Each structure stands twice: as C-alpha cells, then as structure tokens.
C-alpha cells in the first residue's frame, strides 16, 4: 500500500481542524485585502453555528462582518451587488439546503451577470454552505446539492475533504474573480490535520491523488474520501491496490487527472454521498467513457445515496449513508465483475 499526499507549497506549521482552517483562511485574507468582508446569519456575534467565523468580529469589527436578517435571498443579492461594485464578499448560506430560498439570485443573477455584461462585470464573491448527512439534522438540513450548482455556467464549486485543502481552497475562492461556492461537509468539520501557516493556496480545478494504486481508480468527494481510503486499505489486504482521487474542485473538474489514472488502472468507481441519480459521479463516469473508453476493462460504476430524503431516525440515517463497507463491496464488483 502506498499513500501519497501532495507537498504543501508553504511550510507546514500546525495541526488544526477543518473548520479552524476555513476560519484561518478568512482572517488572513481579511488582513491582506480590506475589500473582503463577511455577511450571513449569526456570523458576527455567534461566530457561525459551526464556528467558522469565531473571533472575526473581535478582530475586524462590525463593518467587516455583518449579521444579516434570516433572508437567504437578501444575502445572495447583497453578495452579487457588493461584488459588482468592487468589494469581495464572503457570505454564508449556513446550510446548502437553503439555496432553494434564493435560487433565482444564484441561477439568474450571480451566475449570469458577467456573461450578460460582456465580461465587464466582475463578481469576486465566495458563498459558504454546509452539506452532508450523518449528524441527525433531518431531511431539510442534510442534503448534498453540489451537482445542482455544478450544472450552472458561471459558478465554480469546491468541496474540501481535509483541513489543509479547506484552507487552500478557501483562499483560492476568495481570490477568484468569479462566484465560488465552498461546500463544507459537516462530518469533515472537526477533522484535524497539518495545515500550512501563512498564505496557502490550492489552485481551483486541480484534483489530488490521495493514495496511489494500479488496479482501480476510486474518485470520491468530501467525507467520502475518508471512507474510500478506509475501503482502499481493506482492498489492499486482498491484493487490490486502489488509487483514490479527491477532485477537490467539482466545477471546473480536473478530468485530466482522473482520465490518466483510469488509463493506468483500467477501472473506475465514483463515490459521493449525494443521491446517486444525476450526481457528480455520473458526469465523471461519462467524461471517462468519452475520453478513455478503450482503456476500460470493466464498466465504470457509481455509488451514491438512495433516491430519498435523508431520514431523521438515527438507525435509518446510518442505513441511508454510503460508508467504507459499501465502497469496498462496490470496488470488488468493479474489479471482479
């Protein structure tokens, strides 16, 4: 078994959690650029329900971090308007489920303004949203809607799985001149890992090979990366070396890294927590089929959640979730099937 982690572009400094890494990136960018401000529900006084903006109010004051009314429509409109006028807002939707409240602002304003003004409108804005099940938050607070956003031209979408990438992708998002959604998985929030201190950027649109292998490519997103790595260890005990890839950015997608891996392993399994139907895994499989069909020794397979709302009942929620056992069994099916 070989595990690979890309070297940091800055000196690794300390071990912090995923949520603390987002917080660190935000504070560092606010110090660097006075145009950056944060706004959202409970961001200032409470420091966000997940602690993402803890300490920001104390350091930067109420002009740089703003508690908004409970109106996602207003928050999205604020971000779009402020960005178009030269500021660099970071706004929070709290839960990705709530984009439904302001979807017109996202779909028809935020995503379209640059195009409809012939590129003259610049929209450097970052939207934070928590996604994912497994925390007992029921059907309206547990969805994974990243594929919905990836289908909209004009929007970029990132889903970090580690603390290091959370900081690097968050920084890259805030420096990008386009709307970027940073989808944070709730079960990743407390995961700790080494994170470079100081300025640290992970380029948008660049996947990461989390584990090298020769027999199967597993492309997994967000918390499923950690479950896929567990499954890969079990597969190695059976003599099957799986390569695990974290796309990190879903839009734009680093298809090249995935295709090159499949050309080496000749097999593909995609894994995401979102419902399987029309998920990002289907798009990845289609891209590989288009570009590397002759290299495949087995049909690409995708693994995702059932086509149903996330149950509130803890036993039902656990049954709904994709886990390492599911990935292991699906991987065996691809290799032996």
* Catalytic positions: 141
Angle at 302 between CA 179 and CA 234, to 5 degrees: 110
Instruction: Name the nearest CA neighbour of 160 among 206, 100, 91.
Output: 206
Nearest to residue 126, comparing CAs of 33, 194, 256? 33
- φ, ψ of residue 201 to 5 degrees: the values are -130, 130
C-alpha 14/C-alpha 321 separation (Å) is 32
Sorted by sequence, the CB contacts under 8 Å of residue 119 that are 6+ apart come out as none
Answer whether 126's CB lies under 8 Å from 174's CB.
yes
Report the b/e string of 104-129 with b at 16+ CB within 10 A.
ebbbebbbbbbeeeeeeebbbbbbbb
């Amino acid at each position: 078994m070989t595990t690979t982690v890309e070297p940091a572009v800055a000196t690794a400094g300390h071990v912090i959690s995923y949520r603390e890494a987002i917080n660190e990136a935000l504070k560092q960018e606010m110090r660097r650029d006075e145009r950056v401000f944060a706004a959202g529900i409970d961001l200032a006084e409470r420091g966000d329900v997940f602690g993402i903006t803890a300490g920001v109010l104390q350091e930067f004051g109420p002009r740089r971090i703003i508690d908004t009314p409970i109106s996602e429509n207003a928050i999205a409109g604020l971000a779009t308007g402020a960005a178009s006028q030269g500021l660099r807002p970071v706004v929070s939707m709290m839960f990705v489920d709530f984009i439904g409240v302001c979807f017109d602002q996202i779909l028809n304003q935020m995503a379209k303004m640059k195009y409809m003004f012939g590129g003259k409108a610049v929209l450097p804005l970052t939207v934070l949203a928590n996604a994912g099940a497994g925390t007992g938050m029921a059907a309206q607070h547990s969805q994974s809607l990243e594929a919905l956003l990836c289908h909209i031209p004009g929007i970029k979408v990132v889903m970090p799985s580690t603390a290091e990438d959370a900081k690097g992708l968050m920084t890259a998002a805030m420096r990008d001149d386009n709307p970027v959604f940073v989808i944070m998985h709730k079960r990743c929030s407390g995961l700790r890992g080494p994170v470079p201190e100081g300025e640290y950027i992970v380029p948008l649109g660049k996947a990461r090979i989390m584990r090298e292998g020769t027999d199967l490519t597993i492309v997994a997103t967000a918390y499923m990366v950690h479950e896929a790595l567990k499954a890969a260890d079990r597969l190695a005990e059976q003599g099957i070396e799986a390569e695990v890839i974290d796309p990190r950015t879903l839009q734009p997608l680093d298809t090249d890294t995935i295709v090159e891996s499949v050309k080496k392993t000749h097999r593909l399994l995609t894994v995401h927590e979102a419902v399987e139907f029309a998920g990002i895994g289907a798009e990845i499989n289609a891209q590989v089929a288009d570009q590397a069909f002759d290299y495949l020794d087995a049909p690409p397979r995708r693994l995702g959640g059932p086509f149903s709302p996330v149950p509130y009942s803890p036993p039902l929620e656990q049954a709904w979730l994709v886990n390492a056992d599911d990935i292991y069994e699906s991987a065996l099916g691809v290799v032996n099937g």
